[in-house]
Amino acid sequence: MQLKECKGVTFVEGGVCAAKGFLANGIHCGLAHKALTADPDTTTQTSLPPQSGQKRDLAMIFSEKPCAAAAMYTTNKMQAAPLQVTRKHLRDGSARAVIVNSVNANACVADGQEKAEKMCELAAQALSLRPEDILVASTGVIGQSLPIEPIAAAVPELAKGLSHEGNAAAVEAIMTTDTHIKEVAVQFHAGGVTCTLGGMLKGSGMIHPNMATTLTFLTTDCAIESSLLQGALREIVGLTLNRVSVDGDTSTNDMVCILANGEAGNREITKENEDYENFRDALYAVLMNLARMMARDGEGATKLIECLCEGAADDRTAEIVGKSVITSSLFKTMIFGEDANVGRVLCAIGYAPVDVDPSKVDVTISSAKGTLPMCRQGLVLDFSEEKAKAILGEEELLVHLSLGMGGGNAVVWGCDLTYDYVRINGDYRS
């Protein structure tokens, strides 16, 4: 999938290892082996070659220097234990490493916090750090006790194998039903110094905009004060990860975190100046492209839908209308079936919980095969079904909504709803 260009940044390779001073690794510790026996359909959908015939399931990211750190967490009230531990460890706004497992969510179980704390202790021991320096995350099946013994046995090897080229192994280790790796890195300038920001993400299902909608890990060698780091993360997540929906379900384990070690050598960003704006633009470039990757790799998805809503009373109204469309099951199945039924779009606009003037609504759908005006001033237009089929047959579609009520606008992302989504989730754990 082609990256979408953004102002002021240059795309580079390396993901979470692109920034100076960051290492990563991912290995198979045995959690994936247990899942492979129980659920082959959900543990073999990786485009990466398996390690010794078995998927990696344990990852680590490490900074050679102390970091300012920030995070955001799912709004799901059944929040998983690793998030509670990470929140506690981030009270001082700093961290040095992240440890994360796939296969098992360590959520809604009696020993969840104990296991999450133990993962931090194991990582700290292997890295000669304090447990409070470690952030922890888990993803996978909810409601099953996390086996700590395979993790304990593997952490020394995991830490020993940390490298500046370990990003690919780390990405594989966090994947569950993902079918493609998701990582992006960019370079930008702060105070005349070249800085780098990179990230990796897992997410294909149980994705809906009520926070981060995924597990996302970001690293940067830019020096930036922790409160500004948190503010930038909160704002950009709101414009990117919070504008993606695959299926309307918000996970118990969603988290995004960022580590900033200052190794680029720029003067620390301590106020919202030009350097801060450059950092913010870089963060947007990474998270926006990761958001697009996540939507395109939605469980069973065949198409990426980008919805631009403009002409709203304000940006928030535009976001609400756009989300109403991309989360509509009827609209999503319309896109899958390549059936140009604009009534699905108008219906979703009409029940969005905001004021809309039907007589001013325009709808256009476009792709690499052309542009199809479907509605003007609330009235459905005649169009060629053959042309519509060709346009909707492409893998990337742009749905353009114009409300004619003001200057507000927003972009949101989604995917189609297919038979495979039901197949994947109908036997996720059995």
Given the residues 213, 216, 364, 418, select the one marked as catalytic.
Answer: 213
Is pLDDT larger for residue 417 or for residue 311? 311
Q: Which of 131-135, 136-140, 289-293 has the lowest mean pLDDT?
A: 289-293
Which has the minimum average pLDDT: 98-102, 125-129, 199-203, 316-320? 199-203
Q: How confident is the model at residue 423 (pLDDT cuts 50, 70, 90)?
A: confident
Q: Which pLDDT band holds residue 41 (cuts at 50, 70, 90)?
A: very low
Statement: residue 247 has pLDDT above 90: no
Confidence label for 428 from pLDDT (cuts 50, 70 and 90): low
β-strands 134-138, 183-190 pairing: unpaired
Band (38; pLDDT cuts 50, 70, 90): very low
pLDDT, tens digit, 9 for 90 and up, residues 248-284: 667 788 899 999 999 999 999 999 999 999 999 999 9
* Confidence class for position 244, pLDDT limits 50, 70, 90: confident
Higher local confidence (pLDDT), 217 or 49: 217
20-36: pLDDT as tens digits: 999 999 999 998 534 33
String of DSSP letters for 310-374:
EEESSHHHHHHHHHHHHT-HHHHHHHHHT---HHHHHHHHHTSSS---GGG-EEEEEETTEEEEE
CA dihedral sign, ordered 24, 26, 27, 31: positive
pLDDT of 16 above 60:
yes
Domains of the chain: 10-296 (3.60.70.12), 304-426 (3.10.20.340)
Could you tell me the pLDDT band of residue 222, with boundaries at 50, 70 and 90?
very high
Q: DSSP letter string over 364-386?
A: EEEETTEEEEEEETTEEPP--HH
176 is catalytic: no
DSSP 8-state code for residue 269: B
pLDDT value at 46 more than 80: no
Higher pLDDT, 180 or 40: 180
pLDDT of residue 249: 62
pLDDT in tens, 358-386: 999 999 999 999 999 999 999 999 999 99
How much is the pLDDT for 32? 54
CB-neighbour burial class of residue 27 (10 A; exposed 0-12, middle 13-18, buried 19+): buried
| Joined tokens for residue 308 | 């631009």
For residue 417, give the nearest of 309, 298, 313 by alpha carbon: 298
pLDDT digits over 178-195, tens only?
A: 778 889 999 999 999 999
| Single pTM value for the model | 0.85
